[in-house]
Amino acid sequence: MKKVTKFLVVLVIMLLTAAVFAACNNDGGSGGTEGPVKLSAPKNLQVCDTYITWDIDAKAKDYVVSINDKEFVLRDEQKMGDKETGRVAHELGLAPETYQIKVKAKGDGKNYTDSDWTDILEFTAGLSYNSISDGYEVSKGDTYNLDRIVIPAVYNGQSVKKIADTAFGSSYSGSKMSSIVIPSSVTSIGNYAFSFCSNLEDITIPNGVEFIGDSAFSSCTSLKSVTLPNGLISILDSTFSYCSSLTDIVIPNSVTSIGSSAFDGCSSLKSVTIPNNVLSIGNYAFRNCNSLTIYSESASTTWSANWNSSSRPVCWGCQLSSDKTYVTSFIQVIGYNHIFNPSKFNITEPYRKGYSFGGWATNADGSGTLYPAASLGAAVETYSSTLYAVWIKI
């Protein structure tokens, strides 16, 4: 009996020793026999005044910051964090330029290993921000001479909502940038925001933008391509006037009005497709667009008498795609004027993004007789002929 009791005591001691050893190994998060734990990538990397900030990770020994692929270690950076907000802040002191920044947390090598990098935060230092009711509006600040500008979605913990009036342009001169990235947080672009930015070549406006001001892109003479947002309601007066390099533009189905002189002087503009939802077009909207053919979903209109003051060809009653972005077919009727001014000017090709135009076919599958765009006015084989646009993917 004494031997059994002694054996049980020894067994209990061994079990307790094993439990204590396992607890010691687990202390600090090593995961016991599973080895060190990989830290999570720092969260909520943002721009804040002259700092970058991110959430504190109490387990991180240090942080590694990469600025344009040059790395350096921040020692004991947690000490700079704000305990109330739980944020780390690091002074950048960057000159006006566009930067790509990422951060990772460093482990102690025993209990924790390094995290993955954060997603890249790309932004331009030197921009100017002004607090507004729902966030910030942005303007050029010290970035006048920069070639490429990236606006951050979040600044100082709040969304960047507006590009200010005359932010990068004015009524006579603009910034020297050739491209700009607008974040999805922006909902408004002010009057003259990019006017006279003569080096600006292309721009994509996020779908969240609901307002674009008067003359916002006026005299952007190098602008070749622009993507308008699906939520835009109005294209205001002179918005794209004298964008002499602009070749094509898609009017979103959300647009109900096009202002006076909106595209005046767009001498390279070859094609505009106008959906049924456009109820009003102001005077001289397409004046001096000397290469333009207009493809209208409407068969008739109550638009301003001088909306097409340069008398460019108009193809009325076009069938459009379900998203209203390109022409799918056109009905030409003998003795009925479905094409305005087909003989005075050459009819130019319709436009579809990512495709080239292959001609007008007499059959829906693209077979049969194929007419080039310039011959559309004469492409009538029967009393009422449906002609189908042939699109070739680029």
Q: What is the pLDDT of residues 263-306, one digit of tens each?
A: 999 999 999 999 999 999 999 999 999 999 999 998 777 898 89
72 lies in some domain: yes
Q: Are 158 and 137 in contact (CB under 8 A)?
A: no
342 lies in some domain: no
86 lies in some domain: yes
CA distance 386 to 333: 9
CA distance 131 to 135: 6
198 lies in some domain: no
172 lies in some domain: no
Question: What is the predicted pLDDT for the residue at 35?
Answer: 82
* Residue span of the structural domain in which 102 resides: 37-113
Q: Is 334 exposed, middle or buried (0-12, 13-18, 19+ CB in 10 A)?
A: exposed
Q: What are phi and psi of 374, to 5 degrees?
A: -65, -20
CATH number at residue 86: 2.60.40
233 DSSP β-pair partners: none
The set of residues, in sequence order, having a beta carbon less than 8 Å from that of 250 and lying 6+ positions away, is: 227, 228, 273, 325, 326, 351, 353
Model pTM? Answer: 0.82
Q: Are 286 and 310 in contact (CB under 8 A)?
A: yes
What confidence tens digit (pLDDT) does each residue in 200-258 have? 998 889 999 999 999 999 999 999 988 899 999 999 999 999 999 999 888 999 999 99
Q: Are 226 and 217 in contact (CB under 8 A)?
A: yes
79 lies in some domain: yes
pLDDT averaged over 10-residue windows placed end to end, the chain, 394 residues:
51 51 48 76 87 88 91 67 69 86 92 94 93 94 91 93 93 81 96 94 91 96 91 96 93 95 96 94 95 88 88 90 93 64 76 94 90 80 76 95
69 lies in some domain: yes
Counting the structural domains of the chain, the total is 1
237 lies in some domain: no
CA distance 190 to 122: 23
